[in-house]
A = this chain, B = another copy of it.
Amino acid sequence: MTWEILNIIGTVAFALSGVVVALEEEYDLMGVYVLGFATAFGGGAIRNLLIGIPVSALWEQGTLFTIAIIVMTVAFLVPRIWLQLWKKWGVFFDAIGLAAFAIQGALFATSMGHPMSAVIAAAVLTGTGGGMIRDVLAGRKPLVLRKEIYIVWAALGGFVIGMGWITSNFAIGALFISIIVLRMLSVHYNWKVPVKTGSSSNF
């Protein structure tokens, strides 16, 4: 139950991030829907594809679709004041989506008996694949490839689950909260994964 609520929050957060990008690019209402759906469900579609679940399993999420389309329509129709709130709170909801999707992807992959590499990839792609599709469709360079630490936390979740350290709902909850906290700290303190610039090593 709690899990479903978190999943809904994550889906709504990702759909809204697609809406925000579509509005910035001045896409029309259909562009808003396409980008919102791609962000919210694209990561799961890629994950299903890579770990061998039929991609068409997506269509069993009827309720999530309905919620997403209502949220996107409302976000498009209401005055854009919510964009101010989004700037403040968006990163938090997005962190919930990242944590929920990464854990869900990793649990899927382990339940299918995949090796560690697949579990980490499933966590990363479920958590961040939707955002990459969104950015590619908007003609942007994928943000997750260079913003404050993001993919790492999804990979970490995949690693912890792939090691078999998560054996209770309580442990899942702790991992979930850890990923959110780590992500929020990354944003707050502007933690970055090393980037190499210039022509010589900066290590």
Kindly state the separation between the CA atoms of A55 and B52 in the bound complex, as whole angstroms: 7
- Chain B residues with CB below 8 A from A117, complex form: 59, 62, 65-66
B52 and A56: CB pair below 8 A?
yes
Name A149-178 residues within 8 Å CB distance of B: 150-152, 155
Determine if A132 is an interface residue (Cβ-Cβ < 8 Å).
yes
Determine if A49 is an interface residue (Cβ-Cβ < 8 Å).
yes
- Chain B residues with CB below 8 A from A31, complex form: 144-146, 151
Which A residues are within 8 Å of any B CB, using their own CB? Answer: 22-23, 25-31, 34-35, 37, 45, 49-52, 54-56, 58-59, 62, 65-66, 76-80, 112, 114-115, 117-118, 121, 124, 132, 136-142, 144-146, 150-152, 155, 192-197, 199-201, 203
